[in-house]
Amino acid sequence: MEEKTFAADATVIQEGEAGSVLYVVESGELDCLKRLTPGSQENTKLRTYEPGWAFGELALLYNAPRAATIIAKTPCTLWQLDRNTFNHIVKDAAQSKRDKYENFLESVPILQTMDHYERSKVADAIKEQTYAAGTTIITQGDGGNDFYLLIEGQAVATKSMQAGSEPQQVKEYNPSDYFGERALLKSEPRAANVIAKTDVKVATIDRDSFMRLLGPLDTILQRNMSEYQNHAGQ
Ligand code: CMP
Ligand code: CMP
């Protein structure tokens, strides 16, 4: 990779141009802008990139013109990866992960408002885990760092309503359901146990990726969370 620096306000990528490199952010912030109506001159801001994030991979993955414009908000240090290196090292792994989770992520109701591109970023962030029947996936009272999507199997949520009381079942989970959002959104300890009822496979997404990728779904997540208040002990 090659280090590149950009001054504030510099255009790093121009929508519509050909592209042969992707960038990883070491320091600084950049805005991603896109013309949402073809032919219009009006740019809509889609997101901000911070250290640790990458952009400019679409032109390399699909041999297509740049799909958005990226402008440095502050002075930036970026690492540039060229098409050949990308093709040899990264492309197959990234693409096969996106293909693997595409159908599953399309089946998840909470992700229904996302476009194809946003779901592919969720696929990039997934780490898969399996739990044997009867295993505790989340323990009430623990700190929480991951969000979960159930890929296979069934799980249940149980909750003890007062300290020391026997946990009661409060929810059942089937494939395409999610859990573990509450501790991340509220910065509170886990509010329930989640236990594998059968052998299960889950997709986990860490806190940072969850906030960045699913943060825009906040209204839906908050609305769904209000259901929990039907159970005592909130
Ligand atoms: P690329 O098309 O090579 O150059 C512009 C980059 O903007 C693109 O790759 C993605 O990395 C990034 N981008 C972020 N959000 C979007 C989006 N919604 N549509 C297209 N590109 C996006
Ligand atoms: P979290 O608190 O992060 O970890 C436990 C998860 O159980 C919680 O997020 C919710 O996703 C889920 N859950 C299911 N039912 C309840 C409930 N009644 N109260 C709180 N959390 C619940």
Pairing relation of β-strands 127-131 and 200-206?
Answer: antiparallel
Q: Answer yes or no: do 126 and 213 share one domain.
A: yes
Q: Which ligand is nearest to the CA of 110?
A: 2
What are residue 218's phi and psi, to 5 degrees? -45, -45
Q: Answer yes or no: do 128 and 224 share one domain.
A: yes
Is residue 91 a part of any domain in this protein? no
Ligand 1 lining (C-beta closer than 6 Å): 13, 19, 32, 34, 46-47, 55-59, 66-68, 70, 117
Please provide the size of the chain in residues.
234
Q: Answer yes or no: do 227 and 113 share one domain.
A: yes
What pTM was estimated for this model as a whole?
A: 0.74
Which among 168, 206, 228, 229 is the best mutation to test ligand 2's pocket, defined by most ligand atoms within 8 Å of the CB?
A: 228
Higher pLDDT, 88 or 51: 51
pLDDT category at 230 given cuts 50, 70, 90 is low
How many other C-beta atoms are found inside a 10 Å radius of the C-beta of residue 209?
19
Q: Which atom of ligand 2 is nearest to the CA of 183?
A: 3
Cα 84 to ligand 1 centroid, rounded to whole Å: 19
Which among 20, 24, 46 is the best mutation to test ligand 1's pocket, defined by most ligand atoms within 8 Å of the CB?
A: 46
Give me the percent of the chain exceeding a pLDDT of 70. Answer: 98
Is residue 222 a part of any domain in this protein? yes
Q: Answer yes or no: do 163 and 220 share one domain.
A: yes
Q: Answer yes or no: do 35 and 146 share one domain.
A: no
> Is the per-residue pLDDT at 77 higher than 70?
yes
Is residue 103 a part of any domain in this protein? no
Is residue 90 a part of any domain in this protein? no
Residues spanned by the domain of 41: 2-85
Contacts of 37 (CB under 8 A, 6+ apart): none
> Is the per-residue pLDDT at 156 higher than 90?
yes
Ligand 1: residue whose CA is nearest its atom 12: 55
Contacts of 230 (CB under 8 A, 6+ apart): none
Which among 35, 49, 117 is the best mutation to test ligand 1's pocket, defined by most ligand atoms within 8 Å of the CB?
A: 117
Q: What is the pLDDT of residue 234?
A: 42
- Could you tell me the CA-to-CA distances from 231 to 29, 164, 222, 226, 228 in Å, in that order? 42, 17, 16, 10, 6
pLDDT category at 163 given cuts 50, 70, 90 is confident
Count up the domains in the chain and report the number: 2
Q: Answer yes or no: do 18 and 63 share one domain.
A: yes
Ligand 2: residue whose CA is nearest its atom 9: 180
What CATH number is attached to the domain comprising 178?
2.60.120.10
